[in-house]
Amino acid sequence: MSALGIIPPMIQRILRGLEITLALLILGFIAGYSNPSLTNPIEKVRAFTRQIEFDYIEWMSNAAIVKIRAASAGIPYTLEHEAQKEIVNKYLRITQNILEKEYQLAQIYADAAIADKEFASENLRAELDELYTRQIKLAPLAEAILQEQVSEVLAEIGLTIVGQPVPNVWYHSTPLPMALIVSPRERIEQIANISVNTDLTVDQQVELENNVEDRLATSTLVVNIGGVGVYPTMVMRTTDLNWMLSTIAHEWIHNYLTLRPLGFLYDETPELRTMNETTASIAGDEIGALVLERFYPERQTASFLTLSLVSAPTEHPDPRDLPRPLFDFRAQMHETRINVDAMLAEGKIEEAEAYMEERRLIFLQNGYLLRKINQAYFAFYGAYADTPGGAAGEDPVGPAVRKLREQSESLASFVKKISWMWSFEQLQKEVH
């Protein structure tokens, strides 16, 4: 018997988490260290973002401490299933209250008729402080429970090593950074994706976009994101448990892929990025649904604590969740992307940009609050091609990934096979 074999399972989990954390931090340091050239496209963009970039190292360090403390307390292994469920439900209720009150606070500060905003919001801010304190105490328990539930499903479907996910399922809910997406104007291609601070106002976002566009002649957009595949992973605060579980699994899949060619080469080509994101979306949705079915079956048919205005990404609505008898978001966006690609292929840049603005107004009239539709919009959202249509247009990568999933005997075999690919050509040879 090895020395590891006599260590209690709880301590094994902590040690493995520390091991993977260290490995990924070293990997991130090596990958990120360079003597940047002023001719590098990303460094040109960073000239505008360095002072407002999100500090992932500090965030990961703080989140890892939270995870280690929760693991050392033995949560959730000492709790019965019903007690676990009540903790998760209570956490979601507190999160709903926080999101509602934060929205009310934003309304006060946006109301020009309120002269003394600090006085007007005094009671509201006091309530928020109390809620934040309660959430800070409860979050590690709720997150540990959800992590363990996702881990159990991963073990059942065969995506673990000796029953243990590698890396551990570690996530932390938090206000997320925003991402500045940059694309050339003459084609749709993500040439930069830079995380910026969470508290940028809309005016500051627009100013940043305009500065980069004016100086670098590019298409830019600051987008909201739902999660980040750092370690522990970041997951947006939400009251939608179904979405949360899918996102926890989605971001864990990114960690899984990072230790294999598909994830390690994420930024090498647009095709690999789309393969990666589409794989994570497909797997995340399937795993999230399995966790919901096993541990929260009552939520499969009931809507619970919905707060769509402030708890879901506003620039990427799911039309299946919205009443839309006549306007199909995905079909309309698919049509828009196809027409834009055709115009850009003919060199009609100004015409394509005018067309995208016309289309944005149509989306706006139908209830979709899109601040911009441009090349950067499609460069970002087009990589998520887990369902037909939408911003991906006629890009063949998404359909090929979906085809591989269809012809795979299981989700695990699909993820394992595609994780060892390092080119779109390999994927094309596999599907038939």
Task: Please tell me the predicted confidence (pLDDT) of residue 255.
Answer: 93
Identify the weakest region by mean pLDDT among 118-127, 134-143, 305-314, 332-341: 305-314
Region of 251 on the Ramachandran plot (φ > 0 left; ψ -120 to 50 alpha; else beta):
alpha
Is the pLDDT at 66 greater than 50? The verdict is: yes
> What average pLDDT does this structure show over 287-303?
84
Tell me which residue has tokens 């299933």.
Answer: 81
Q: Provide the pLDDT for residue 412.
A: 97
pLDDT confidence of 422, banded at 50, 70, 90?
A: very high
- Residue scoring higher pLDDT (419 or 12): 419
Helix H or strand E segment including 178? strand 178-184
Mean pLDDT of 340-348: 97
| CB-based contact 223:181 (threshold 8 Å) | yes
Among 218-222, 387-391, 419-423, the range scoring the smallest mean pLDDT is 387-391
The pLDDT-based confidence of 8 (bands split at 50, 70, 90) is low
Residue in the block written with tokens 């698919």: 334
CA angle 421, 163, 161 (to 5 degrees): 35
**Band of pLDDT at residue 341, cut at 50, 70 and 90:** very high
Q: Over pLDDT 90: what percentage of the chain?
A: 62
What integer pLDDT is reported at residue 70 of this predicted model?
78
How far is residue 414's CA from residue 193's CA, in Å, rounded to a whole number?
Answer: 28
Residue 350: other Cβ atoms inside 10 A: 10
What is the predicted pLDDT for the residue at 7?
Answer: 46
Q: What's residue 320's pLDDT? A: 54
Q: Note the pLDDT of residue 92.
A: 95
Does the pLDDT value for residue 356 go beyond 50?
yes
Residue 179 parent element (H or E) = strand 178-184
* Alpha-carbon gap, residue 269 to 395, rounded angstroms: 14
pLDDT surpassing 50 at residue 314: no
Over residues 32-52, the pLDDT tens digits come to 433 334 446 788 999 999 999
pLDDT tens profile 141-174: 999 999 999 999 999 999 998 888 999 999 999 8
The residue among 302 and 365 whose pLDDT is bigger is: 365
pLDDT number for residue 75? 64
* Confidence tier at 304 by pLDDT (50, 70, 90): very low
Helix locations, 296-328, DSSP H: 308-311
* Matching residue, tokens 């797997």: 283
For the cut 90, the answer to whether the pLDDT of residue 312 exceeds it is no
| pLDDT band per the 50, 70, 90 thresholds, residue 264 | very high
Contact between 193 and 380 (Cβ < 8 Å): yes
Q: Mean pLDDT throughout 280-285?
A: 96
Distance CA 70, CA 13 (A): 11
Nearest to 138 by CA among 113, 173, 109: 173
Average pLDDT over residues 307-322: 44
pLDDT, greater one: 430 or 389: 430
Residue bearing tokens 């369902």: 387
Residue of higher predicted confidence among 112 and 22:
112
Q: Please tell me which residue, 246 or 74, carries the higher pLDDT value.
A: 246
How large is the C-alpha radius of gyration of the chain? Answer: 22
Is the pLDDT at 192 greater than 60? The verdict is: yes
Q: Is 90 exceeded by the pLDDT of residue 211?
A: yes
Rounded CA separation 250/195 (Å): 19
